[in-house]
Amino acid sequence: MSQFFQIHPENPQARLIRQAADIVRGGGVVVYPTDSAYALGCQIGDKAALDRIRRIRRLDDRHNFTLVCRDLSDIANYARVDNTVYRLLKACTPGAYTFILRATSEVPRRLMHPKRKTVGLRIPDNIVAMALLADLGEPMMSVTLIMPDDELPLIDPYEIRDVLEHEVDLVIDGGYCGLEPTTVVDLADELPIILRAGKGDVTPFEV
């Protein structure tokens, strides 16, 4: 039976954030709000929790997870970025973007693209998500909460609890956070490539 925390979207209760972070550290799978949709998250490197998320979403081994980070210092640990890319990231974060970047050796192999050795990274513009990441002190492995056979993410925390109460350890009700997916931009090579136009403005990446 999952726990259910109602966390204020603008003034998150520190006690509940700490409890949520402890659940992640303990190997839990959590549902949490972002700036584009609700997401499933777990501790970086936790294979058992990752496998649980794969089962919930019915994902195969080829599906790339995203590392959700608290700030650019996290990105520097997990991705190789030059000055030009860093300036782009600084201008567009936090925000509703997922960036495909060259991975460093800090990234667990199961999170990398097997051939390109890239990883998806993002810094969400969501106060609850940022507070959770700050308490954790490290990124979370994450995917958008879209159930198998659905085209759109689940948006109602109460419905999410009903659907996943026996599948996840915690559902965080952080208010409405939308349906539109992130904009995905590949910055692994010399020129930016917009892989998906979503909530984030694509203008900075148009060549």
Domains in the chain and their CATH numbers? 3-205 (3.90.870.10)
Round to whole Å and give the CA distance between 11 and 56: 30
The confidence band for 60, taking pLDDT boundaries of 50, 70 and 90, is confident
pLDDT of residue 42: 97
pLDDT of residue 6: 97
What's the mean pLDDT in 57-75? 87
pTM over 0.85: yes
Q: 41: how many CB neighbours lie within 10 A of its CB?
A: 31
What's the mean pLDDT in 66-71? 94
Round to whole Å and give the CA distance between 189 and 8: 40
What's the mean pLDDT in 165-192? 93
Q: Residue 16 above 90 pLDDT?
A: yes
What's the mean pLDDT in 97-115? 85
The partner residues of 38 in beta bridges, in order of sequence, read: 33
pLDDT of residue 95: 95
Q: 16: how many CB neighbours lie within 10 A of its CB?
A: 19
The confidence band for 64, taking pLDDT boundaries of 50, 70 and 90, is confident
Q: What secondary structure letter does DSSP report for 146?
A: -
